[in-house]
């Protein structure tokens, strides 16, 4: 049963339960972009993201990735294992877009020669700045270099699994953001969500954007795009 609110983020509320080791994640309809400078709401988005993220986490679990997901308990709620979130946003990119194109001048849509893994500090007040391995150690975000290695290896493995998964559904996985947590037994596990809020997904034939860029760039039909993603990954 849901008890008091533990944490509210931009896309989810996290509640305590009677069991100290379990939380409930409630997916919200709110949409934010550009470090919450742009705000919106899309009725039903929470349910869509909950379903999409659950399917993706189940696929990853089947492929040997440990995650915080226990099970879904309603249309927009997941029961999750309590873990201590490592405050690093791990970005994985296959195709140039977004801030990579802006920072380095690589044209949007250009295939990268290898999957690029980048880190941002998860800190809204600082605007989630890009950081490197040494910053992670300097700020004690991780215990040691081994943990950084583990995070990078898991991120690449998740990317390999998802590239193939989305490719089979006629989608290009352009880039995505993931977060990890430390479980009770100090293991690094996948946490947070993987949804069109945190990924860039393009139609393989037309390059049509089917993710949060529709909101960021005022392209319209945000919900229709998320529904299309759900339809393709369920099919
Ligand atoms: N991303 C995210 N949360 C963030 C920043 C990025 O989910 O706080 C995702 C974003 O949706 C994209 C990928 O990470 O799929 C790479 O984002 P980029 O750095 O290009 O972000 P932008 O500047 O476009 O927000």
The string of pLDDT tens digits covering residues 180-233 is 999 999 999 999 999 999 999 999 999 999 999 999 999 999 999 999 999 999
Q: Where in the sequence is the domain holding 49, given as residue range(s)? A: 4-81
* Residue where one domain finishes, among candidates 30, 46, 81: 81
pTM (two decimals):
0.97
Going from the Cα of 176 to the center of ligand 1, the distance in angstroms, rounded, reads 7
Asked if 27 and 112 sit in the same domain, the reply is: no
144-170 pLDDT, tens digit per residue, is: 999 999 999 999 999 999 999 999 999
* Residue where one domain finishes, among candidates 51, 81, 111: 81
- CATH code, domain with 22: 3.30.200.20
Asked if 190 and 106 sit in the same domain, the reply is: yes
Does any ligand 1 atom lie closer than 6 A to the CB of residue 92? Answer: no
* Residue where one domain finishes, among candidates 61, 81, 101: 81
Is 55 a residue whose pLDDT tops 90?
yes
C-alpha 113/C-alpha 106 separation (Å) is 12
Q: What is the pLDDT of residue 1?
A: 85
Asked if 101 and 216 sit in the same domain, the reply is: yes
C-alpha 55/C-alpha 59 separation (Å) is 6
**How many domains is the chain built from?**
2
Does any ligand 1 atom lie closer than 6 A to the CB of residue 175? Answer: yes
Q: Is residue 229 part of a domain?
A: no
Q: What is the pLDDT of residue 192?
A: 98
- 3-state secondary structure labels for all residues of 130-157: EECHHHHHHCCCCCCHHHHHHHHHHHHH
Q: Is residue 106 part of a domain?
A: yes
**Binning pLDDT at 50, 70 and 90, where does residue 85 land?**
very high
21-46 pLDDT, tens digit per residue, is: 999 999 999 999 999 999 999 999 99
Does any ligand 1 atom lie closer than 6 A to the CB of residue 9? Answer: no
């Amino acid at each position: 049963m849901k008890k008091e609110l533990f944490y509210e983020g931009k896309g989810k509320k996290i509640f305590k339960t009677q069991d100290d080791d379990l939380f409930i994640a409630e997916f919200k309809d709110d949409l934010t972009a550009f470090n919450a400078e742009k705000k919106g709401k899309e009725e039903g988005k929470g349910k869509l993201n909950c379903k999409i993220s659950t399917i993706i986490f189940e696929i990853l679990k089947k492929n040997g990735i440990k995650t915080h997901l226990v099970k879904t308990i309603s249309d927009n709620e997941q029961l999750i294992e309590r873990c201590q979130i490592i405050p690093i946003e791990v970005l994985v990119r296959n195709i140039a877009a977004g801030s990579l194109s802006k920072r380095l001048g690589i044209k949007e849509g250009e295939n990268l020669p290898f999957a690029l893994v980048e880190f941002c500090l998860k800190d809204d007040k600082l605007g989630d700045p890009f950081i490197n391995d040494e910053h992670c150690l300097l700020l004690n975000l991780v215990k040691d270099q081994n943990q950084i290695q583990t995070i990078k290896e898991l991120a690449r493995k998740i990317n390999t699994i998802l590239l193939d998964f989305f490719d089979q559904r006629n989608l290009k996985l352009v880039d995505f953001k993931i977060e990890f947590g430390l479980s009770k037994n100090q293991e690094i596990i996948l946490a947070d969500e993987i949804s069109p809020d945190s990924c860039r997904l393009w139609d393989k034939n037309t390059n049509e954007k089917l993710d949060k860029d529709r909101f960021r760039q005022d392209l319209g039909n945000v919900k229709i795009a998320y529904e299309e993603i759900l339809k393709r990954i369920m099919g």
